[in-house]
Structure 1
Amino acid sequence: MQKNSQEKDEKLLEKRFAELSRTAFQRDIITYTDFLNLNEQNILHTLPKDTLYTRVVSFGGYELAERQMAAFIPDALYLRWGKSSDPLDYTEYPFSAVRIAPLNRKFAEELTHRDYLGAILNLGIERCKTGDILTDREGAVVFLHRDMAGLVMDELTRVRHTSVKAELLSAGLIDYSPEYEEVRGTVASVRLDTLLALGFSSSRSRLTGLIEGGKVYVNGRLITSNGYQPEEGDVISVRGMGKFRYQETGGKTRKNRISVVLRRYV
């Protein structure tokens, strides 16, 4: 029953993508989705080529954003700026960045991603209207659908027991570089399961189940094959566990194992 419901939801989403692409093509305008999670992005990027009428570019406010909006761009507009242009040069994604900070840092709690998300959703905002939430010592930066930003700034006054204020940030001020720790090790071969085992310090047998269970993504695309071979620079995400970048491959050891370097985001 649950599988049938999931398949129905995926078909509706595919239909919605096709409608947005058709509208962009027919009206010669750029159309946008709401924020898409990794699974929804995978559905979009694995659609048959003849399903869409336009180009698709995704962005979530900063490099490596997990939740992203997709922009459907007609060829005439896409070619006007050139294939190599930064998407921000020609698409104004309808989202804003809002900084949420305690009114008094001295008496503030240690707030987590879940705390900020819960406070926002309690305002009646749907999850699809919110992008990534970046927490730091000063508070958090939240990416929100433009229509929701004003609501958050007006209504969000408390996160858990901490009084907060929310202010709009200029898009030009978002220069976020996620913190990471470098992981070095050796693998018998560069496969998805061996990199996961190294990246998360776990056994291959446990992580094999995550791959086959549809919880592992490479550059936003769902991968269900343990033997999939990532390339240098690929970002590998595991739902519920985190993500890392396959940074580089080194030489071979005396035991004929391959040296690799990963960057695990913290």
Structure 2
Amino acid sequence: MDKMEERTRQRILDLANLADRRGIITYTDFMNLNELNIFHSTVGKIPFVRWKLFGGYAKAERQLAAFIPDALYFRYDFSQKGDSDEDAIPFPIVCLQIRPLNLKFAEKLSHRDYLGAILNLGIDRSVTGDILIDEECAYLFCMQKIADFLCDNLTRIRHTTVLCQVFEGERKEIPLRTEKIEGTVASVRLDTLLALAWKTSRSSLVGMIEDGRVFVNGKCITSNGYHVKENDLISARGMGRFVYEGMLSQTKKGRYLVKLEKYV
């Protein structure tokens, strides 16, 4: 175990113990795919508290964890809380909208441009979540504690003057740029779905999977034959992510027609 992994595990255990000892909800910062994988391999050691993951919207890649002591967990009564457990927990996440002040003279900005400008302010990546790019603006999920700082100081990205402000709309109104993909596969295995999503051969993906660069719902999967379940989120480092939406039908030759939603 390297030092980074050891520190991450210890931080997770410390927050879980604090939630249990003080009877309060505690939160991690936003975790990347590696940290989420460490989280999933650690939570088995903390059966004394409940936990939930959330990143500001459904299927977010970067997520933070909430540790909930039993007394509060039953007080929230998740089974009666409407859309999702996340709606019941006050996650300290804010969505910021970043848009050019003058659209006519604005540059076409990439995810790297937005992230670079944010990090150049001295912001640690752990307090920011996903950045979603729309045609004319971007949406940044961040910890509540740095929202005001970003709104006050994020004023320029490359040569474009921008306005950063709290997004006041509903979470479901945030546009997600996705592409629907349908195709047939011999079986609902991790390698076949990756090949369908990125229109490449299964053999070319073997090394990526075995090297630990593919994650399903935040867990590192190193088996090509891993059976993917409906609504699983698959993330491949350096390539992107998609949701397996399920099987549509079976062909006469025994292949399966499946549907994916890929984030673009």
Alignment TM class, shorter chain as reference? over 0.9
Q: Where do residues 176-195 of structure 1 align in structure 2 (5 Å cutoff)?
A: 176-195=174-193
**Deviation, structure 1 residue 88:** 3.9
* Structure 2: unaligned runs, 5 residues or longer: none
For the pair 1:59 / 2:57, whether they are aligned, the reply is no
CA distance in 2, matches of 1:95, 1:63: 13
TM-score, L = length of structure 2: 0.92
Give unmatched runs, 5+ long, in structure 1. Answer: none
Structure 1 position 250 matched with structure 2 position 245: no
The Cα of 1:182 is off from its aligned counterpart by 2.1
Conservation of the 8 A alpha-carbon contact between 2:134 and 2:175: no
Match of residue 29 from structure 1 = 24
Partner SS for 2:138: strand
1:103 matches 2:104: no
- Determine the C-alpha separation between the residues in 2 that align with 1:107 and 1:173: 29
- Residue deviations 1:212-250, cap 9 Å, x none? 111111122111111100112212111111111212223
What's the CA shift string for 1:171-210, capped at 9, x where partnerless?
7455335232222222222211111111110111111111
Match in the other structure for 2:122: 124
Q: Check the 8 A contact 1:97/1:171 in 2, yes or no.
A: no
Deviations 1:73-97 (A, max 9, x none): 0011011122433334442222322
Partner of 2:45: 50
After alignment, is 201-210 or 86-95 more displaced? 86-95
Structure 1 residues 22 and 115, CA, compared in 2 at 3 Å: closer, same or farther?
Answer: same
State the TM-score, normalizing by the size of structure 1: 0.92
Q: Distance in 1 between matches of 2:148 and 2:75?
A: 33
Change (3 A) 1:52 1:9: farther
Query: What residue identity is the alignment partner of 1:103?
Result: L
Partner of 2:15 in structure 1? 20
Question: CA, structure 1 residues 256+173, in 2 after alignment: closer, same or farther (shift >3 Å)?
Answer: closer
Is the CA contact 2:179–2:262 (under 8 Å) kept in the aligned structure 1? yes
User: What SS class does the counterpart of residue 42 from structure 2 fall into?
Assistant: coil
Displacement of 1:48 in angstroms is 5.3
Q: Which residue of structure 2 aligns with residue 92 of structure 1? A: 90
Identify the match of residue 6 of structure 2 among 2, 11, 27: 11
When the two structures are aligned, how many residues end up with a matched partner? 261
Q: Percent identity?
A: 51
- Relative to structure 1, the CA distance from residue 216 to residue 134 in structure 2 (aligned partners, 3 Å threshold; closer, same or farther) is same
Which deviates the most, 82-91 or 155-164? 82-91
Q: Is the 8 A contact 2:52 2:86 kept in 1?
A: no
Q: Are positions 1:81 and 2:76 aligned together?
A: yes
